[in-house]
Amino acid sequence: MSMIRILVTGGTFDKEYNELDGTLFFKDTHINELLALGRCKIDFSVRTLMMIDSLDMKETDRQLILENCKSCSETKIVITHGTDTMVETAKVLGDNIKNKTIVLTGALIPFKFGSSDGLFNLGAAMAFVQSLPHGVYIAMNGKVFPYNNVRKNRQLGLFEEIQ
């Protein structure tokens, strides 16, 4: 059993630029590359569950994430996820899992863009998952929110407390 389980679901984080047609697409996750860049010395194991835009995420996808969180032996879990429906997934997990610390994170800019916030967010997520009590959280851009008091503000491109 590793110290931290990392579950990959896709999202902006892992988008790449297709040089043949100019579209953004998913290939492989960059999570291992980011952790290597961070010279991450904490024990972790990565599992890719899907590689999709979170706007395309269906209820069955969320159930798959939920099952993986439940069944893995680790009690500290980081999930990389598109920001658009990160709150919905966090709610499914938060309503069903109480005995683990789960941190969802993502990026506003694909990692492959030089100006991505991905490495900063991943560093924060790996820290929060070690230090926060059991519960489900969203960690983005230096802040952390409990799953039941957070929303994405699409105009500003940030997460904020509901109240």
Nearest-angstrom CA–CA distance, 135 and 101: 5
Asked if residue 46 binds its own copies (CB under 8 A), the reply is: no
Backbone angles phi, psi at 76, to 5 degrees: -120, 120
Helix (H, G, I), strand (E, B) or coil at 135: strand
Rg (CA), the chain: 15
Asked if residue 106 binds its own copies (CB under 8 A), the reply is: no
Task: Choose between 63 and 148: whose C-beta lies nearer to its own copies.
Answer: 148
Helix (H, G, I), strand (E, B) or coil at 136: strand
Q: Footprint of its own copies on residues 25-44 (CB under 8 A)?
A: 34-35, 37-42, 44
Q: Minimal CA–CA distance to 14: which of 114, 94, 110, 135?
A: 110
Tell me the number of residues near its own copies by CB under 8 A. Answer: 50
Task: Choose between 42 and 64: whose C-beta lies nearer to its own copies.
Answer: 42
Angle (CA) 140 142 145, round 5°: 55
| Contact stretch for its own copies (CB under 8 A) within 59-67, 68-76, 91-99, 110-118 | 110-118
- Residue 160 pairs in a beta bridge with 151
| Contact stretch for its own copies (CB under 8 A) within 58-66, 67-75, 91-99, 117-125 | 117-125
Structure tokens at 108: 């506003």
Binding mask 136-155 for its own copies (x = CB under 8 A): ---xxxxxx---------xx
Query: Where do contacts with its own copies occur on this chain (CB under 8 A)?
Result: 12, 15, 17, 19-20, 22, 24, 34-35, 37-42, 44, 53, 108-110, 112-117, 119-128, 130-132, 139-144, 154-155, 157-159
